[in-house]
Amino acid sequence: MNIDVESLQRLVERAVNELGEKKESVQAAVGDGVFATMDEAVKASAAAQRRLACCGMVDREHFVQVIRDTVLDPKVLEEISWDTVEETGIGCYEHKLVKNRLAAEKTPGTEDLTTWASSGDDGLTITEYCPFGVIGAITPTTNPTETVICNGIGAIAGGNTIVFSPHPRAKNVTLKLVRLLNHALAAAGAPGNLIVTVAEPSIENTNAMMKHPEVRMLVATGGPGIVKMVLSSGKKAIGAGAGNPPVVVDETANIPKAAKDIIDGCSFDNNVPCIAEKEVFAVASICDRLIACMQECGGYLLTDLEEIQRLVELTTKDNGAPKVEFVGKSAKYILGKLGVEAPSDTRVILMETDRNHHFVTEEMLMPILPVVRVKNADEAIQCALVAEHGNRHTAMIHSTNVVNMTKMAQLLETTIFVKNGPSYTGIGAGGQGYATFTIAGPTGEGLTSPKSFCRVRRCAMKEGFHIRTKSQAYFGNPPAVS
C-alpha cells in the first residue's frame, strides 16, 4: 500500500488524539470525585460541566435517576444513614433513613425546568432555565447526606456540576457518598466528576471554593454565619439559613391530634431539622389539656424551675449557643445527663416557661420544647412573630379557625407555613409537594429545586413561528369583503 507522508502524519495525529480522549474518559470514569485540593476539585468540575453541557435532557434525567437509584439501594441508604449518626453524633438512624429516602425520591428532576413561551405578531420568544456552570455548595452537619442528594440532583438536572464543601464533622460520610455517586454515574456513562469534593474539608477549603473564579454560583445550607459569608462573596448565592419555628395552638384545635403532631415533628431526627417545632404558644383554655396529651405521646414534663435551669446550664454555652455535644441528642440521653431517669418511650422534654425564656428564643436543635401559656390566639401569634426573629423560615398552627390561620400566615411571612400537621409536612414528608433540604428564606428561592440552580435566558425569534394568524408577509393582503 502506498501512503504519502502527509496522510501518514494525519493518521498518526488522529490515533494520538483518540488515545488522549480515551485516556481522559477512562480517568473520568475511574475518578472518585475526591480531590486533594479545592483548585483541582473545581477544575475537574468545570471540565465535567463542559461535557455535561453537550448531553441532552434525556441524559440529564438519566443521571438524576442514577443518583436516586444509588441512594435508594437499601444497603447504601442504611450505610449513609448509620454512618452519619455515628460520625456526627447527631440525630436518629431511623429518621435519617426517612430523610435520605425523601431527598432521593422527591427532589424534582428536569421536569422542574419548564419553558416559558410568548408568541404573537412579532414572532416567538422562549425563556429557558439554563446552567450556571460550576456550583459551590456548603452543607451542614445536621443534614450532610440529604443536602448532597438534594443539591446534587438539583444542580445536575439544571445542567450544572457541583463541588461540595462539607462540614468537617461530616467528612467521612460525605466523601463516601460522593465516591458512590461518582462511580455509579461513571458506570452509567455520565461524564466523570459531576459531583466532587475535597479530601480534607475545612474552613480554608470553603473559602478557597467561594473565591475560585470557576465557581459561578454558591449555595450555603447552614447557620447565619455561613449564609452571610456567601452573600458577601460577590457571586450569585443561595442562602438557606437558621430558623426557630414556633407553633401556635388555639382553642379550636383538635388537641389530641395537635399534641401528637407537635411531638412527632419536634422529635423528628432529634429536632435538628431547621423546620422542626422549637416552641409552643398555647391558648390558656386548652394549655393543660395540650400538655397532658403531649405527655401521652412521649413528652416528659419538667415542672421544677431549678431543674429547668440546670437543663439550660447543661445544654447551653456561655454565649447562649447550644453545646455541640447535646445538639441532635435524644430526649432520653439529655435527661440522663441531667440525672433524670425517664421512661423508655420519652421523645421530647417539655416544660412551661415564659416567652423570654432561653429555650424559646434560641434555636437549640434538641428535643426540648418550651410551652408558653397565652390568653388568646392573637397574643399567641404575636409571640410567635417575636420568637421567629424575622427569619421568615417555618411556622405551624393547630386551629380550625380560618381567620387565625390566615392572620398568622400573613404576619409571619414564613417560607413554610404548616396548618394542622407536623413540621415535616411542609417538606413533602406526608404532605403534598416536592422535597428539599435547602430552604432558602434569606435569598427568596424558597424550597429550592433545579430551577433555583439555573440562569434564566431568553431567546427571541423576530417574526415567524406563530401559527394563530396568517401573516401578510406570506399570504399578501386580506381578501376583499364580498
The total number of residues shown for the chain amounts to: 482
Give the count of residues interacting with ligand NAD (CB under 6 A). 25
Residues 6+ apart with CB under 8 A from 52: 60, 131, 156, 159, 160, 161, 190, 191, 194
Cα distances from 263 to residues 295, 400, 405, in angstroms, run: 9, 19, 20
Q: Which of residues 411-450 bind ligand NAD (CB under 6 A)?
A: 437-439
Q: How far is the CB of 273 from ligand NAD (least distance, A)?
A: 7
Distance CA 355, CA 378 (A): 14
By CB under 6 A, tell whether 391 contacts ligand NAD. no
Q: Phi, psi at residue 323, to the nearest 5°? A: -75, 130
By CB under 6 A, tell whether 209 contacts ligand NAD. no
- What is the spatial order of strands in the sheet that 236-240 belongs to? 34-35, 195-198, 161-165, 134-138, 215-221, 236-240
The residue within the footprint of ligand NAD, chosen from 206, 233, 270, 443 (CB under 6 A), is 206
Q: Please identify, among the stretches 102-110, 128-136, 138-146, 185-193, the one whose residues bind ligand NAD according to the rule CB under 6 A.
A: 138-146
Residues 6+ apart with CB under 8 A from 205: 38, 165, 198
Query: Which residue, judged by CB position, is nearest to ligand NAD in the bound state?
Result: 222
The residue within the footprint of ligand NAD, chosen from 108, 152, 222, 298 (CB under 6 A), is 222
Q: Which of residues 315-374 bind ligand NAD (CB under 6 A)?
A: 363
Q: Which of residues 17-56 bind ligand NAD (CB under 6 A)?
A: none
Query: Among positive and negative, which fits the CA dihedral 288, 290, 294, 299?
Result: negative
Q: Nearest to residue 262, comparing CAs of 244, 287, 274, 279?
A: 279
Distance CA 174, CA 130 (A): 27
Is-contact 252 404, C-beta < 8 A?
A: yes
By CB under 6 A, tell whether 270 contacts ligand NAD. no
Cα distances from 150 to residues 53, 106, 448, 482, in angstroms, run: 20, 9, 9, 65
By CB under 6 A, tell whether 241 contacts ligand NAD. yes
The residue within the footprint of ligand NAD, chosen from 67, 242, 249, 387 (CB under 6 A), is 242
Closest to ligand NAD by CB, 110 vs 141, is: 141
Closest to ligand NAD by CB, 39 vs 128, is: 39
Closest to ligand NAD by CB, 60 vs 278, is: 278
Percent helix, strand and coil across the chain, each to the nearest 5: 50, 20, 35
Q: Nearest to residue 177, comparing CAs of 34, 27, 25?
A: 34
- What is the spatial order of strands in the sheet that 299-302 belongs to? 299-302, 348-352, 368-374, 279-283, 246-249, 394-398, 416-419
Q: What CA dihedral angle connects 173, 174, 180 and 186, to 10 degrees? A: -170
Query: Among positive and negative, which fits the CA dihedral 23, 26, 28, 31?
Result: negative
The residue within the footprint of ligand NAD, chosen from 52, 226, 405, 429 (CB under 6 A), is 226
274 catalytic per annotation:
yes
- Given the residues 274, 287, 293, 383, select the one marked as catalytic: 274
By CB under 6 A, tell whether 138 contacts ligand NAD. yes
The residue within the footprint of ligand NAD, chosen from 107, 174, 197, 221 (CB under 6 A), is 221
Cα distances from 424 to residues 44, 109, 144, 190, 431, in angstroms, run: 36, 21, 17, 33, 8
Distance CA 105, CA 72 (A): 8
The continuous run of DSSP H or E covering 221 comes out as: strand 215-221
Closest to ligand NAD by CB, 66 vs 439, is: 439
- Give the Cα-Cα-Cα angle 52, 151, 434 (nearest 5 degrees): 110
Binding mask 176-205 for ligand NAD (x = CB under 6 A): ---------------------------x--
Q: Please identify, among the stretches 9-17, 107-115, 238-246, 291-299, the one whose residues bind ligand NAD according to the rule CB under 6 A.
A: 238-246
The residue within the footprint of ligand NAD, chosen from 152, 243, 246, 299 (CB under 6 A), is 243
Q: How far is the CB of 382 from ligand NAD (least distance, A)?
A: 23
Q: How far is the CB of 410 from ligand NAD (least distance, A)?
A: 22
Closest to ligand NAD by CB, 230 vs 405, is: 230
Binding mask 272-301 for ligand NAD (x = CB under 6 A): --x---------------------------
Q: Which of residues 82-101 bind ligand NAD (CB under 6 A)?
A: none
Closest to ligand NAD by CB, 359 vs 437, is: 437
By CB under 6 A, tell whether 225 contacts ligand NAD. yes
Q: How far is the CB of 83 from ligand NAD (least distance, A)?
A: 16
Q: How far is the CB of 392 from ligand NAD (least distance, A)?
A: 11
**Could you list the residues that contact ligand NAD (CB under 6 A)?**
138-143, 166-167, 203, 206, 221-223, 225-226, 229, 240-243, 274, 363, 437-439
Catalytic residues: 274
